[in-house]
Amino acid sequence: MSNSPTPGAAATAAPPTAQRSMGDLVRASVSGWLGTALEFMDYQLYSLAAALVFSQLFFDADNPGMAVVLAMATYGVGYVARPVGAFFFARIGDRVGRRKVLFYTILLMGAATTLIGFLPTYEQVGLLAPILLVVLRLAQGFGAGAEISGAGVMLSEYAPNNRRGIIASLVALGTNCGTLFASAVWAILLAVMLEADVIEWGWRIPFIGSAVIMVFALWVRFNLKESPVFEERTDVVDGKALSRDEMVQLATATNDIRTLESLKRKPIKAVAVAFLLRFGQAGNSGLVQTYLISFITITLAVSKEVGPEVVIVSSLLGFITIPLVGILGDTFGRRRMYIIMSALSLVLIVPTLLLINTAETLWIFVGYAIVHNISVLGLASMENISIPEIFGARNRYTLTAMVREIAAIIATGIGPVVAAAWVSAATGSIVPIMVLMGLFTAAALIGAIWAPEWTGRDLTDPRAAM
């Protein structure tokens, strides 16, 4: 019987010998933050455009209800390509390193978003308009599929063991910054331009302008060093991972028990737990940050300026929520914080959505800020470090990216479409949103309860945490 340490949180070890300076850590943090900010800016630009104007620009305006459903469906199309991109890029990232992959993912993702700003409309070219939009959404999703996963993996492998949560929360802050920036741009456009001008040409400005952030992010990543954990892996020789047969030979010759165990044991429970955690957060994100804005604008018939403004206010509050949850996860353990945050979310779903359903501006702001920060941002703060921590070093990027994106295509890609159709069938009732959010949140709670604690484990361990 092996005397090797268990793969869970108790399997701590000395930091990798391939050390990085504080400057390297800062660059990695900025790189992760920028890439994630760009990804979520891109998606928030689209989600707000889908809720506010795309149903009029790219689909038949004679049926407004169906146009909204189709606009939400096009939003979901981006998630179809994400698992494919995750598999393609993340496998390369596990074989040759994280840095190279993160350079190309942000290039593809950013270029697709910029090109959306140059698309012709349905009135100009008919069905070709939504077809081109779908093509660019697929390209955007293909690049984004490995972006946030790679940023989370890179930061988790750079960060000191007892500060992973707060440092990796920078990835979640990137999502918040991207969401905030996109919402602010839309709020400004709607405030300073006539609605007719926004629909005519103003909607193109934020998509084309996103190219500036993409160029800066590319420059930062070009100067980024490789993850120290990747360089420390026993199966990496001359910057490239060995094949399975080569790993078996090397591990047998060196009596590397951990690697041999990782090759024999399938991480089924680790995948299931990570999937449930991601499914819960992703589902809530799709409903709150995408469909709920459309519900407020169209179903509740609130002024179009309110949607972007509530997202801005809530995102500003997220600058407190996200790092605070990251610190608490480092202090008390991420499993415990997942249980607390998910349980709190379940309790608050109904009252917060009832506040929004009043259609009173003040209560919309209050209800949205609470549900967004607890059910979306709080869980996202822990997710970006938890999933990489759960998996072993040898296939961390691949499993992290695949779990994240498969859960997302089911939850975030389909959720807004189901919500839109269900609310329409229920003649504008908010109850379907409550039910869907309850199901998503319960999934995250079940995953956390089922898992052993994984916080602070040795990331050079090739085995999964459970």
- DSSP string of 123-158? HHHTTHHHHHHHHHHHHHHHHHTTHHHHHHHHHHHH
Q: Is there a domain that residue 306 lies in?
A: yes
Q: Is there a domain that residue 10 lies in?
A: no
Q: What is the pLDDT of residue 76?
A: 66
* Tokens, residue 105: 């993912």
Q: What is the pLDDT of residue 1?
A: 38
Higher confidence at residue 228 or residue 17? 228
Q: Is there a domain that residue 15 lies in?
A: no
Q: What is the pLDDT of residue 78?
A: 73
**CATH of residue 202:** 1.20.1250.20
Question: Rounded distance, CA 46 to CA 230, Å?
Answer: 35
DSSP state of 19: -
pLDDT digits (tens, 9 = 90+) for 100-118: 899 999 999 989 989 989 9
* Tokens, residue 166: 């707060």
Higher confidence at residue 236 or residue 407? 407
What mean pLDDT do residues 236-257 have?
87
Q: Is there a domain that residue 461 lies in?
A: no
The confidence band for 4, taking pLDDT boundaries of 50, 70 and 90, is very low
What type of residue sits at position 31?
Answer: S
pLDDT digits (tens, 9 = 90+) for 59-93: 665 666 666 666 666 666 777 788 999 999 999 99
Q: What is the pLDDT of residue 367?
A: 97
Higher confidence at residue 356 or residue 308? 356
Neighbours of 198 (CB within 10 A): 20
Q: Is there a domain that residue 111 lies in?
A: yes
Q: What is the pLDDT of residue 170?
A: 80
Q: Is there a domain that residue 237 lies in?
A: no
For the full predicted model, state whether its pTM sits above 0.75.
Answer: yes
Structural domain count of the chain: 1
What mean pLDDT do residues 367-390 have?
94
Question: Rounded distance, CA 226 to CA 232, Å?
Answer: 11
Which domain range does residue 27 map to?
A: 22-226+258-450
Q: What is the pLDDT of residue 134?
A: 83
Sequence-distant (6+) residues with CB within 8 A of 234 are: 250, 251, 254, 256, 259, 462
Question: Rounded distance, CA 195 to CA 191, Å?
Answer: 9
The confidence band for 331, taking pLDDT boundaries of 50, 70 and 90, is very high
Q: Is there a domain that residue 302 lies in?
A: yes
**Phi, psi for 258 (deg, rounded to 5):** -60, -45
pLDDT digits (tens, 9 = 90+) for 299-322: 998 988 898 789 889 989 999 999
Q: What is the DSSP string of 424-447?
A: HHTTT-SHHHHHHHHHHHHHHHHH
Q: What is the pLDDT of residue 77?
A: 75
Sequence-distant (6+) residues with CB within 8 A of 54 are: 46, 71, 74, 133
Q: Is there a domain that residue 7 lies in?
A: no
What mean pLDDT do residues 25-35 have?
87
Q: What is the pLDDT of residue 238?
A: 78
Q: What is the pLDDT of residue 35?
A: 86
Span of 57-66, 129-138, 214-223 with lowest mean pLDDT: 57-66
pLDDT exceeding 90 applies to what percent of the chain?
Answer: 44
Question: Rounded distance, CA 456 to CA 10, Å?
Answer: 8
Indicate the SS3 state at residue 236: strand
Span of 59-63, 142-146, 390-394 with lowest mean pLDDT: 59-63
Calculate the average pLDDT of the chain. Answer: 87
- Assess whether pLDDT exceeds 70 at residue 57: yes
The confidence band for 3, taking pLDDT boundaries of 50, 70 and 90, is very low
Q: What is the pLDDT of residue 67?
A: 63
Q: What is the DSSP string of 192-211?
A: HS-HHHIIIIITHHHHHHHH
- Assess whether pLDDT exceeds 80 at residue 51: no
